[in-house]
Each structure stands twice: as structure tokens, then as C-alpha cells.
Structure 1
Amino acid sequence: MSSQPVSVTTLTRAIKEALEASFPYPVRVEGEVSNFRPHYSGHAYFTLKDSFAQLAAVMWKSRAINLPFALEDGLQVVCTGTVTLYEKTGRYQFNVLEMHKAGKGDLQARFEALKRELWEAGLFDEAHKLPLPTYPGRVGVITSPTGAALRDILSVARRRNPTIPLLLRPAQVQGEGAAADLAQAIRDLNRHGGVDVILLGRGGGSLEDLWAFNEEELARAIFASRIPIVSAVGHEIDFTIADFVADSRAATPSAAAELLIPNREEMLGQLYYYQDKLATQLLRRVQIQRHRLESLKQHYILRKPELLLSPHQEALKRQQTLLAQAYTHQLQAKRQALELLKSRLQGLDPRQVLERGFVMVEQQNQPITRAEALKSGPVRLIFAQGVRTGQLALNEEN
């Protein structure tokens, strides 16, 4: 238990949120009207009761004026609405969205049963809903080609942005086979439409007229769509299974077109705004860089570049001196090595030996280096200062 007390407002608001979270979708209630009080504002305040309990109810003027019958005490009715809590009085009440007399609710019962089944199957989960594109390149429309809904959609599209193309997939929206045709239309646009979002809608009507949008086949086609779908069926007070499964709901086809078609003038205004903003930012960056450049130009290094170059010039001179010394030293070493090699080569030159009085003997153009190689016959004697040829006769010695 918290030691700090909470305010009445805080507690009441928490109770309201918990109550509304327990009934996230409209529920259907059957009961007898009592304590009916028509209000000067047009709102209808009354109580729904049965043999064991009663429930405070309100029907706002915008919905009460559409009732096809007069509301009075003792009337047995079936109401569709939401549960909420009126904070000022601390009383919970039933906010009636739709009402019809009891005894005609077979379709409504089927509606509630299917809604419960699909809700339990997860088809209404927010986690599965796709985001709507902010700027759709192409909008698919599924509706009757002759209905008022299409005229309303086209009127809004022309007014808001005539440059966005609409692709109509005509479909039957009422009667036998309508649900199957609507489901096939969704599959067709997913396969071949090339659209970014789908508007699924029709004008208002009775529960029977709108029943195609309460069929399970259509609900599962909406759920399986890879393209986001906006459901816009009937008037604001009409709720269908398609509304709960779709990625978004609009009260009317016109409202759906307003939601999906971005206003061209607003887009141009945004474009001009960002264009001006970009130009301002670029100009500011140029000014900042120009200021930095001016600051650098005033830097003492740039005003007296010799202060920056002087240390490097001294280092360069030292490197030049060291390089010249190294070059001279290396050149002398190479010259000494060359002289040494030259002396060695001269020592090996045969002419140097001949200059000392020796003679080189050749026979058959081959130098004679061993005594046993010398034979009688032509001989060639090479001196330091010339060459003599002759015949050599050897005495045979054993």
C-alpha cells in the first residue's frame, strides 16, 4: 500500500482507463429504456435495464437525430456502444453509438459473434496493422463504380492533389457475392495494382446493406493484404468487421480520401520551407567558413611566414651539409677502391712481365707454359717490344 494519498481525480481517471481498457471495442447490449430524459441540447439520457441490473446510458445528439424511431420509456432496444466513466460524477455509463428495436437483431448477433471470434484470433491486434504512406505514389480504390462514395473520393482527390493517380477496382458492395468480390479485389490490387495504399469503402446504409463488410472472407482478405488498407464504410455511426481488421478506419469515404491524399499546397509549402531552411543553413556555413578564413589571415604566422619557415630552413641547411659530406666521403672511398683494383689488374698484365726481360713462346697460336708441350717446328716469340718467328729444332733427350 502506498503511503502517499492520491487525488480523487487521479483515482477516478485510473478507474476510467481500466474500465475502457476492459472494453476496447464497441459492445452490444439489450435492455429496456427507462428514465428517458430528452435534453434541450438534443442529447438523450436514459437507463438500460433488465430484471436484475440497470445501466446509465447516453446517446449524443449527432447520433440521436439519426434514430428511425422515437425513444421512449418501456421500449425494448439493442444498443451498440462503448463503456466509459463520467469523471465529474464518478458514474460509469454506456455511450450508445447505434440503436435498434429488439427482435430484429439476428444479423447483429452474427456480427457480435464473428467480431468476438476474429478478435480472439488476433485479427484486430495493433501489432499486425501496417503504417499508411505519408506520400502515396498511387492509391487503389475498391468501391462501386456508380456509387456516391466514388464521386466523393474523386472530388476530394481533385481538390487536394490531382497529381496523385487513383486506380479503381470496381466491386460489388452489396448483396449476394459482394463479400467474395471485395476480397478478390483486394487480392487483385496486391498482385497487379502497383498501389501504395488501398481505400475500401462505400456509402451508408442499413446493417443489411453493409453486411458484405461483416463477412469473414473479406476480413481475412484484409488481414492478409501486404498493402495497407483504410476502411471507409457507411457513415460515422456505422461500424463493420472490416473497420476493425483494416489498418486504419475513416468515418466516411470522403474522410478516407482526406486522410490518404496529401494536400498539394501544403506539400509545396513544406518544400519551400525546407528550401529556405537549407539556403539559410548553407549561407550560415559559408559565413562561418569566411570568418574562419579571415581569422586565419590575421594569424601572426601568415603575416610573418618567415617565422614558420626559419626553423625548417636551418634544418634544411644542416641536411644539405651532411649530405655533401657524406657524398665526398663516399666518393673518396670509391676512388681508393678503384685505384686498388687498377694496381691489381696491372700486376696481372702479361706485358709487365715481358718488360722485365721475359719472352712468351707460342706454337699453333697457343702459349707454351710447360716444357713437354714445346715441339720442333714453327715457333712464335713475343717480346716486350716485338715479335719474332722461326723454326725450332729440339735435340731429343731421353
Structure 2
Amino acid sequence: MNPYKSFSPQAYASPISGRASAADTSAMSVTQLNRQVKSMLENSFLSLRVQGELSNLAKPSSGHWYFTLKDTKAQIRCAMFKGSNRHLNFAPKEGDEVIVQAKVSLYEGRGDYQLICNSMEEAGSGRLQLAFEQLKAKLLKEGVFDASYKKSIPSLVKHLAVITSPTGAAVHDVLSVLKRRFPGLAVTIYPCQVQGAQAAASIVKALQTVQEQQVCDLVLITRGGGSLEDLWPFNEEQLARSIFACTLPVISAVGHEVDFSICDLVADYRAPTPSAAAEIISPDQDNLRIKIDQLQKSLISNINATLANNHKHHQALAARLKSPQQKLQLQQLQLSALRNRLAIPTKDTLNAAKQQLSFNRQKVMSLNPQTMINNNNTQLAHLHDQLVQFTHHQHLNYRHKLSSAAAMLHSVSPLSTLERGYSITITERQTITKYQQVEIGQIITTKLHSGEIESTITNIHPE
């Protein structure tokens, strides 16, 4: 389709000589001309991405934004209406390098050609954000972020390793909080680069040094806030692998509270800011003194109670202790009583023996084979009746469970869903649940209750 088909300059050319009469219909008005040019531009450039530097940014009370997008050799006016700019996740300012998604149009009132922007992103952030998401998905699939691999943070840190820039604001914030809360905590600064192409390798080397020295029991990796490009070393895979393999627990405090990095996700604990990390690591010395006083009082109380109990126990043992003379007299009395019982045979003993003999005779009679057979037959018949009743009951019970399970299976079956008029759309590999899974021109299959439909995608509507 030719986007310029509706406009032909020759069709509106004036005669070579003479003056157009009032009834001359070949001449077009300025409004008509601008309208034709606007239609040509909008039909020719439906949507495109343009990169440039922001200038002359105006944000009137209407909520619409007006600005100029320029590079070293050219510039173009742009408009971004409030329905589009309110969805941005950053605040653009003069001098920012941005990429806009826009269509070319023309402002008929002045005849200025311009861009109508639908979206805007920081130049470079789109590429970096994509790389971030790809690495995040890769490490997530490998289980690097799993909570089962997270090491516990010591309740009372003895020696802290701080990996950061020795001149940055982050190390100042951390040391200030530690000095205020717990000045007795030993801290070693392991200097490294926190920005630039070599920063990730520098941080990895510092982390290796901490482990080799075997002095510290906790590692803090930190730096202040910045753009996505500034914080990118903390999204490098080599740093993520080193933190995951670290033998010491690691706390990550990178950027501000809204900044999230791969370092935060793989670390054993993520603090929103460097100061918050120092708060988490160090106990408050005033609270610690109170707790020590409480433990001291509790220890003294427990010792006193233990001593009192031991004294009572000692007194009880002393009361139970008898002299050897008293013990010999008691044993002599017991010996005399035993001699009397042995010397005088009792009539009760003979009667007990007779009763035992009678009992043994009855037991022998009960062991008669015929009696045992009769008893066993009776017991066998009783057990047979119980087995029949139990089998019948179990049969009914299993039939009921089978019916219930069949009904439940039917209720959740995809075939039952299809019977109610729903359908399932699939590709060759998977069931389609999101519009991102397909693309224009792709063939898809829709399964119905009866039969299937094959379709070709001609358009995709995200909303």
C-alpha cells in the first residue's frame, strides 16, 4: 500500500500564467495541506523507536509533557500525553539520554512535524534490564536463590568484614551506626571498586581474601545508591557465583531500598540500605547492658536456689543415716523372725499344696483332645461369621469410595470443562495462558468438546 497515494502535488498545481478565479477548485487550503501531510506521516510511520537527548522538557498542569529529542546533528519536537507518561517508572530530566516508542505526526496549527510518544525508557536500561532478568531466571532455575542454601546470620558478630569502596558514603554510614550502637565490634574494611567494568572482579577478589584470612565471621557487601548502570557490577554472574560459594554468611546492602540486585537475591540476607545493614548486624549496647544485668541477676538467683536445695538434701541424707549398732540390732530381730517361720511348719502351707494339686487335675482334664476339638470348632464357626460380615462391610465401603472418587474425578476433568462450552488453546509445545507465548502468523489449535479448530494468529491484543 502506497502511503502517499492520497496526495499528488500536480493535482493541486496552479496555472503557469494568469490568476486563479474565485471558483478555482485546484488550489488547497493550508488546513487541507497540513491534514494531508499529517495523514501521510501517520500512515507511513505507524510505530518506531527513537533515541536522543531530552531538552526543553515542559510539564504543564494538564499532565501532558512536551519536549525536544535531539542528537549532535538534529532535533525533533515530541509530545507525551498524561495517559502514557503516568506509567513511567523513572522521572526524566533535562539532558537524559532516552529511547521513546512513538509515531510520527504533524501539529496542524503550526505545521510542525513531531513525535507522539507512547512510552519512554532510559537509554541502556532496557538492555541491562533484559540481561538482569535473563541472569535472574538462569540462577533461579539452578536453585541459587533457594532458602535452603541461606546461612544463618550470627546473633552476636565477633569480627565483621566490610567489602566496599573506602571513600564512599556507604562505609561512612556503616561505621557511624556501628560506633553508636556497638563500638566494641571488630571491623575490617576490604577496599574494592564498586562501579565500572572491573568492579565485579574487584569485589570477588576481596571476598576471596576474606575467606583466606579466616578472621571474620560475617561479610557485608555494600555501596550507596545509583542508576542501573552504576549498580551493574552487583548484577554480574561471577559475583553471584562467588557469594553462593562463600563459606561465610553474607549480607548485601546495595543502593537504596527500591534497588534490587542479583547480589541481594543470592546473599544470605538483604538489607535495604547500608545503615539498615549496620543496625541488623550490631546489637544496641544499652539494650545489651540491660540484658547482661538481667542474666547476672538470674544467675545469682539460680545459684542461691541451688545452694539452698543442696543444703536441704544434705540435711535429709544426714537424718536417714543410722549408726552401725542400730542397724545390727534391726538385722538380729529380722533373723529371729525368719528362724521362727522356718521352724514351725504351718497348716496353711499343706492346704495350699492340696488346692494346687486339685487345680492341676482339672487342667489335665481340660486338655482332653475331644474337648479341645469341640472348643476349636465353635471358635472357628464364630470367626467365619465375623469374616463374612467384615468382607461384606468392606465391599460396600470400597464401592462407596470408588463412586465418590469417580464423581470427583469427573468434576475436575478437562473434558467436563469442555462440555460446559470452554475450550483449550495450545501450540505444538504448550498450553497458551499468556499472549507472550504466541506471535503473529503462528498456527494454534483450539480443542473443543467435539473436535479441534486450527487458527492462524493475525493480531495480538495485550489488554
User: Aligned pair count?
Assistant: 226
Q: For the Cα contact (< 8 Å) 1:77–1:101, is it kept in 2?
A: no
Instruction: Identify the match of residue 109 of structure 1 among 118, 130, 134.
Output: 130
Task: Answer yes or no: is the 8 Å Cα contact 1:77–1:102 preserved in 2.
Answer: no
Paired residue type of 1:119: L
Q: Distance in 2 between matches of 1:155 and 1:71?
A: 46
Tell me the residue number matched to 1:250: 271
The one-letter amino acid paired with 1:155 is S
Secondary structure of the 1:102 match is: strand
Q: Who is 2:146 aligned against? A: 125
In structure 2, the partner of 1:330 is none
Q: Give the Cα separation in 1 of the matches to 2:268 and 2:170.
A: 20
* Pairwise CA distance, 1:121: 1.5
Q: CA deviation at 1:266?
A: 2.6
- The yes-or-no answer on 1:75 pairing with 2:85 is yes
Cα deviation for residue 109 of structure 1 reads: 1.2
Confirm whether residue 310 of structure 1 aligns to residue 329 of structure 2: yes
Q: Which residue of 1 aligns with 2:202?
A: 181
**Which secondary structure state, in structure 1, belongs to the residue aligned with residue 153 of structure 2?**
coil
Q: Pick one of 289, 292, 313 that aligns with 1:271.
A: 292
Matches within 5 A, 1:84-233: 101-102=120-121, 104=123, 105-233=126-254
Greater Rg, structure 1 or structure 2? 1
Change (3 A) 1:224 1:296: closer
Unaligned regions of 5+ residues in structure 2, if any?
1-79, 91-118, 335-463
Determine the C-alpha separation between the residues in 2 that align with 1:226 and 1:261: 21
Does structure 2 retain, via aligned residues, the 8 Å contact 1:145–1:170? Answer: yes
SS of corresponding position for 1:199 = strand
> Against the structure 1 CA distance between its residues 305 and 265, is the aligned structure 2 distance closer, same or farther, given a 3 Å change threshold?
farther
Identify the residue that residue 260 of structure 1 maps to in structure 2.
281
The Cα of 1:307 is off from its aligned counterpart by: 4.3
Q: Is the 8 A contact 1:145 1:171 kept in 2?
A: yes
Q: Give the match's secondary structure for 1:254.
A: helix
One-letter identity of the residue aligned with 1:310 = Q
Q: Quote the Cα distance in structure 1 between the aligned partners of 2:131 and 2:303.
A: 63
Q: Which amino acid aligns with 2:132?
A: F
Task: Supply the distance in 1 between the matched residues of 2:329 and 2:89 (Cα, whole angstroms).
Answer: 96
The alpha carbon displacement at 1:197 in A equals 0.5
Q: CA deviation at 1:107?
A: 1.1
Task: Name the SS for the 2:189 alignment partner.
Answer: strand
Amino acid at match of 2:157: P
DSSP-derived class of the 2:83 partner: coil
- In structure 1, what is the Cα distance between the partners aligned to 2:190 and 2:288? 28
CA drift of 1:219 comes to 0.7
- Quote the offset at 1:165 in angstroms: 0.9
1:65 alignment counterpart:
none
Counterpart of 1:102, as a letter, is E
Whole-angstrom CA distance in 2 between matches of 1:307 and 1:107: 96
The alpha-carbon deviation at position 270 of structure 1 amounts to 2.3
Q: Distance in 2 between matches of 1:131 and 1:78?
A: 38
What pairs up with 1:318-329 in 2 under 5 angstroms?
A: none
Please state how far the C-alpha of 1:269 moved relative to its aligned partner. Answer: 2.4
Aligned to 1:281: 302
Deviations 1:15-55 (A, max 9, x none): xxxxxxxxxxxxxxxxxxxxxxxxxxxxxxxxxxxxxxxxx
| Change over 3 Å in CA distance of 1:298–1:103 after alignment to 2 | closer
More strand by share: 1
CA contact (8 A) 1:76 1:102 kept: no
Change (3 A) 1:103 1:133: closer
TM-score of the pair, normalised by structure 2: 0.45
SS of 1:208's partner is coil
The AA in structure 2 aligned to 1:209 is: D
CA contact (8 A) 1:76 1:101 kept: no
Shift of 1:241: 0.5
Q: Structure 1 residues 305 and 79 mapped into 2: Cα distance closer, same or farther (>3 Å)?
A: farther
Q: How does 1:313-392 map to 2 (within 5 A)?
A: none
How has the CA–CA distance of structure 1 residues 258 and 283 changed in structure 2, closer, same or farther, with 3 Å as cutoff? same
- Write the distance in 1 (CA, Å) between the matches of 2:222 and 2:300: 44
Output the TM-score relative to the length of structure 1: 0.52
| AA partner of residue 143 (structure 1) | T
Q: Per the alignment, do residues 222 and 297 of structure 1 end up closer, same or farther by CA in structure 2, a change over 3 Å counting?
A: closer
Question: How far apart, in 2, do the equivalents of 1:265 and 1:194 lie?
Answer: 27
Residues 49-100 of structure 1: per-residue CA shift (max 9 Å, x gap): xxxxxxxxxxxxxxxxxxxxx99422385669xxxxxxxxxxxxxxxxxxx9
Return the offset for 1:293: 4.3
